[in-house]
Amino acid sequence: MCGFTVTYQRFIKKNMNDRGRFGSKLGVVLASAGSAVGLGNIWRFPTEVGQNGGAAFILVYIVFVLFLALPVMVSEFVIGRSSGSNIVHAFRKLAPSKWWMTIGFMGVLGGFLVLSFYSVVAGWTMKYTVDAALHRISGTDPANAFDGFVTDTWEPLFYMGLFLLLTHLVVIKGIKGGIERYSKLMMPLLLLIIVILVGCSLSMPGSAEGIRFLLKPDFSKVTPHVVLSAMGQAFFSLSVGIGCLATYASYFDKDMNLAGSALNICAIDTLVAVISGFIIFPAVFSVEGVQADAGAGLVFITLPHVFSSAFSQIPLVGYVFSLLFYLLLLLAALTSSISMHEICTAFVSEHYNIARKYSATLVTLVYLVLGTACSLSFGPWKDCTLAGMTVFGWFDFATAMFIMPVGGIFISLFAGWCLKRKLLTDQLTNGGTLQVKGLRVLIFLIRWVAPLGVGMVFLNEVAKHFN
């Protein structure tokens, strides 16, 4: 009995000490960029561009990525790597007061909520991938087809569960053998698909109109509200504010260049978002009568219409285009979902001293329950609302409008003001061995610009909601 206890304790200890690590710098950048590149880039960004003034919105967005999201990302990297812990324990180790752990707990809660509703939309993309492969996407009445599908009880649940299972299978394999390995496989594939899709889209007749729309800035549409929603988009798209990238950074090596990697990740994420616009708009403009500012239905309602019209002209292009497009969305969603899952898995494993595979399983089970509630809120639970919002709406609102901005403010305040200045510069320069250009500017952004800027987004969202 005693021997068993000792063996068991050793087993637990081994699992605890063996937190895992990324094996290469490329792996780090691809996994973190994988977290950032997701439905936010390919689905949400083009929608916002379409509604908010094309190139003018893109310009504003890029400014916020650089001045707001980048410093929060660097702060997360510093907190994660210097603590070598999940987001809650990171604050426990580094903070002067236990109060800061609340920000960590909020991050874990955010990780639970965000993947619960994200997996529902990811499930939809999985269904559309299967339909595209079987040539079953409705081109005649895509709005009705979409509505019929999401209001059903079982089919969306099935796809959501399948998507969560895929996420689980990657996370359970650990950092190097799971997250890094699959990111190294999926990210290049994703980039290759993007290149092919740009080719498909530009080859469609009338595509020049879409390019003109993207490149012509319409500043009249950039209202104060649009400026602020560009900030929110930058935040969501770069996965900052809930400790997701801090968790990844806890597996980084000592010699990783934190500021340089953050810059690369921002560049990849923004490039993918802009290129997604170059895939979607030329295609959308090639079909007469289809609106560029179609809103959230752009991907599931407007595009099927475009694909079917392409199919009737050149069947092979139509088929390849639709299949690869939904596959791209699915891959992007998966590389993001594993990072959300990891926030919670790392926390549960380290906080409750449970081996990784058990904590990952526990976390997946919780996701299945919460995700079910989100999925049903389009069908049978449509009328279960609180203050006019369904479960899905609440989860979306709580994370995007509250947890991420508030987390972002405190994360940058913490890195900028609570951490010792020497620790911050040591992390950024790897103990003085690295020359970081613009170090003082970066620290200024972390201390002042990011908390104030994000504070504005937050207040705007609150004000908008209560107006």
Which residues of the chain form contacts with ligand PHE (CB under 6 A)? 35-36, 38-41, 114, 236-237, 239, 242, 244, 336, 339-340
Angle at 103 between CA 100 and CA 105, to 5 degrees: 110
Nearest Cα neighbor of 308 from 134, 138, 130 is: 138
Write down the least CB distance from residue 237 to ligand PHE, Å: 4
Strands (E), 203-260: none
Residue 309 φ then ψ, to 5°:
-70, -40
In Å, what is the CA distance from 24 to each residue of 29, 30, 170, 250?
Answer: 9, 10, 18, 14
Q: CB of residue 134 vs ligand PHE: minimum separation in angstroms?
A: 26
Residue 104 burial by CB count (10 A; 0-12/13-18/19+): exposed, middle or buried?
A: buried
Q: How far is the CB of 320 from ligand PHE (least distance, A)?
A: 24
| Segments of 208-345 assigned E as strands | none
> Residue 114 Cβ, how far from ligand PHE at the closest point, in Å?
5
> With respect to ligand PHE, which residue has the nearer C-beta, 28 or 114?
114
In the chain, the amino acid numbered 9 is Q
Which CB, 272 or 428, lies closer to ligand PHE?
A: 272
Q: Rg of the chain's alpha carbons, rounded to an integer?
A: 22
Tokens of 63: 């400014």
CA distance 225 to 463: 11
- Bridge-partner residues for 217, per DSSP? 54
Judged by beta carbon, residue 80 or residue 318, the one nearer ligand PHE is 80
Q: Given the complex with ligand PHE, which of 69 and 259 has the nearer CB atom?
A: 69
**39/299 with CB nearer ligand PHE:** 39
DSSP at 434? S
Q: Is 54 helix (H, G, I), strand (E, B) or coil?
A: strand
Q: Closest CB to ligand PHE among 240 and 259?
A: 240
Cβ at position 11, least distance to ligand PHE in Å: 31
Count CB neighbours of 400 within 10 A.
22
Least distance between ligand PHE and beta carbon 44 (Å): 7
Element (H, E) at 402: none
Instruction: Round to whole Å and give the CA distance between 175 and 22.
Output: 6
CB-nearer residue toward ligand PHE: 39 or 78 = 39
CA distance 312 to 304: 12
Q: What does 409-456 look like in DSSP terms, one character per residue?
A: HHHHHIIIIIS-HHHHHHHHHTTTTS--TTHHHHHHIIIIIHHHHHHH
Q: Which is nearer to ligand PHE, 39 or 145 (CB)?
A: 39
**Minimum distance from CB of 6 to ligand PHE (Å)?**
40
Nearest to ligand PHE of 90, 145 (CB atom): 90
Query: Which residues, other chains included, contact 77 with Cβ-Cβ below 8 Å and sequence gap of 6+?
Result: 245, 246, 249, 252, 258, 261, 262, 427
Three-state DSSP state, 430: coil
CA 110/CA 124 separation, integer angstroms: 22
Q: Output 111 or 156, the one with its CB closest to ligand PHE.
A: 111
Q: How far is the CB of 139 from ligand PHE (least distance, A)?
A: 27
As measured in angstroms, the least distance from the Cβ of 467 to ligand PHE is 26
Q: Which amino acid type is present at position 131? A: D
Least spacing, CB of residue 208 vs ligand PHE, in Å: 29
